[in-house]
């Protein structure tokens, strides 16, 4: 039975990006259904797929799995050879822990650095709690890389996995908002942004015409062009 992943705008929907990029990186085939968010009829369209009324949601036949982390867990069970979680039990526990911390934390970063991949990258002043979030994330990435990442450029080595997928939108936030990250953090970010999955998502987001004014930090400038 084929998989269908229902997502929101690629430019703005960080939660949609997580399972999408994990599936693409792992070579898991799926059908994509994109519903633009915060438009007339959006809520009704999403409810046709999702009992929670939110995206993303994964359909596997009659089975529905919603919430990004639940989808990633389901995919890891359904496709054990995809390597979405590390094989080593200790590494897997760490990967799940840092993924759960991303799932429930970093509210300041979410609030002040909303996902917007076409935002022109440049440093922007941020409150101290955003920098505190940044430092914690840098520590997480450094710890994962030091313990289990020696075999490749990602958090747990050579394979892009669920933990990388959970932090992929953060890579975009750090990049677009010009946060002052370390050279090691920048190297990890460059590795993520160099993946074919990231590039495909980013290029599709660039082609979108939907604009969410409340997500545009430089409103009325979007993509460097004045919006009338």
Instruction: Please write the tens of the pLDDT for every residue from 153-176.
Output: 999 999 999 999 999 999 999 999
Could you tell me which residue, 222 or 26, shows the higher pLDDT?
Answer: 26
* 35 pLDDT above the threshold of 60: yes
Hey, how many other C-beta atoms are within 10 angstroms of the C-beta on 201? Answer: 22
Helix (H, G, I), strand (E, B) or coil at 33: strand
Can you give the pTM of this predicted structure? 0.91
Please say if the pLDDT value at position 70 is more than 80.
yes
pLDDT of residue 219: 42
**Which pLDDT band holds residue 200 (cuts at 50, 70, 90)?**
very high
Structure tokens at 117: 């991949």
Does the pLDDT of residue 217 top 60, yes or no?
A: no
**Confidence at residue 225, expressed as pLDDT on a 0 to 100 scale:** 40
User: In this structure, are strands 57-60 and 3-7 parallel, antiparallel, or unpaired?
Assistant: antiparallel
| Least confident span in 44-53, 62-71, 120-129, 204-213 | 204-213
Domains plus CATH for the chain? 3-82 (3.40.30.10), 89-201 (1.20.1050.10)
Is the pLDDT at 126 greater than 80? The verdict is: yes
Position 163 scores a pLDDT of 98
d(CA 21, CA 116): 16
Q: Is the peptide bond between 220 and the residue preceding it cis, with omega within 30 degrees of 0?
A: yes
| Angle, helices 183-193/128-148, rounded to nearest 10 degrees | 80
What integer best gives the mean pLDDT of the chain? Answer: 92
């Amino acid at each position: 039975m084929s998989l269908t992943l229902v997502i929101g705008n690629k430019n703005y929907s960080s939660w949609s990006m997580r399972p999408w990029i994990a599936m693409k990186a792992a070579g898991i085939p799926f059908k994509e259904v994109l519903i633009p968010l915060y438009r007339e009829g959006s809520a009704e369209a999403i409810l046709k797929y999702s009992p929670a009324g939110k995206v993303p949601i994964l359909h596997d036949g009659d089975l529905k799995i919603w919430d990004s982390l639940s989808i990633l867990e389901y995919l890891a069970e359904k496709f054990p050879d995809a390597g979405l979680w590390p094989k080593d039990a200790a590494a897997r526990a760490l990967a799940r822990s840092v993924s759960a911390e991303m799932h429930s934390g970093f509210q300041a970063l979410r609030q002040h650095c909303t996902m917007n991949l076409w935002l022109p990258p440049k440093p922007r002043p941020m409150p101290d709690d955003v920098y505190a979030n940044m430092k914690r994330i840098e520590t997480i990435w450094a710890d994962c890389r030091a313990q289990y990442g020696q075999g490749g450029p990602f958090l747990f080595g050579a394979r892009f996995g669920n933990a990388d997928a959970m932090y992929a939108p953060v890579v975009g936030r750090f990049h677009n908002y010009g946060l002052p990250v370390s050279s090691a953090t920048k190297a990890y970010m460059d590795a993520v942004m160099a993946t074919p999955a990231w590039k495909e998502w980013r290029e599709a987001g660039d082609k979108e015409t939907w604009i969410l004014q409340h997500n545009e930090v430089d409103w009325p400038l979007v993509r460097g062009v004045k919006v009338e």
